[in-house]
Amino acid sequence: AQLPRYAHLSMILGDDGQKLSKRHGAVSVMQYDDEGYLPEAVLNYLARLGWSHGDDEIFSMPQFCEWFDLDHITPSAAQFNTEKLNWLNAHYLKRTETARLADLVQPRLQARGVTVTAAPSLAAIIDLYKERAANLNELADLAEVFYIELHPKAELLAKHLTPETLPALADFIDHLPAVAWEAAAIGALIKASVARHGLKMPKLAMPLRVLLTGLEQTPSVDAVVALFPREMVLKRLAWPAKT
């Protein structure tokens, strides 16, 4: 029989530089799904591990099949770089259709016991937040706060809900029932409220972020407010009145 052609890929080392093996660092392929990686990101990363095509880092499976040859397999050991995989996965997340991401995130929320309701729209949440996440689990973390009973940390409330900011917050709440429920109109209301009290935008934006999401960092606060149903916003912003 004709002898088969065969070749070895480079040895793969773990993040710590040690040989990757079942006893040291290697994981089941399903763990990458559990950790929120997209299949195309994992395939892209593995294809680039021990093989190169010039300086190209990102490519589709058809491109890889077209470009691959044995001449460009790296003879030296290749090191697995989790940070690089995270970067690549974030790249694919940003470019993946929102509807597909919603279909992938919803089961992760349900596994946590989180019920995803029609409003706020999970797809709308993901569309706003997918630029900020490195994997599906991070997207689920960001989406979860829209569906659970939220209890912001006391230190964040003390930091941002101060005697200086509470009048502007009360002003915003008073005008909220009549505002058009869209980001532009909500943004205009925020600006008007801080202007009436001689404050800068962050003085109201930060309390709104903390009361609505429990976080200090979010996308544009007017867009975040608009994601919620009006009645849910009014309920979460009622916190100062209860204290």
Same domain membership, residue 189 and residue 125: no
Same domain membership, residue 125 and residue 50: no
The total domain count for the chain is 3
Model pTM?
A: 0.86
Give pLDDT tens digits for 64-97: 888 888 888 888 888 888 999 999 999 999 999 9
Contact 186, 204 (CB under 8 A): no
Give domain status of residue 128, yes or no. Answer: yes
Same domain membership, residue 39 and residue 82: yes
User: pLDDT at position 51, please?
Assistant: 84
Give pLDDT tens digits for 213-237: 999 999 999 999 999 999 999 999 9
Rounded to the nearest 10 degrees, the angle between the axes of helix 136-144 and helix 122-129 is 120
Length of the chain in residues, anyone? Answer: 243
CATH number of the domain that residue 86 is part of: 1.10.1160.10
User: Which amino acid would we find at residue 178?
Assistant: A
CATH number of the domain that residue 138 is part of: 1.10.8
Separation of alpha carbons 146 and 209, rounded Å: 12
Give domain status of residue 4, yes or no. Answer: no
Give domain status of residue 135, yes or no. Answer: yes
Same domain membership, residue 55 and residue 134: no
Contact 241, 211 (CB under 8 A): no
Same domain membership, residue 57 and residue 109: no
Separation of alpha carbons 52 and 174, rounded Å: 60
**In terms of residue numbers, what domain contains 75?**
12-90
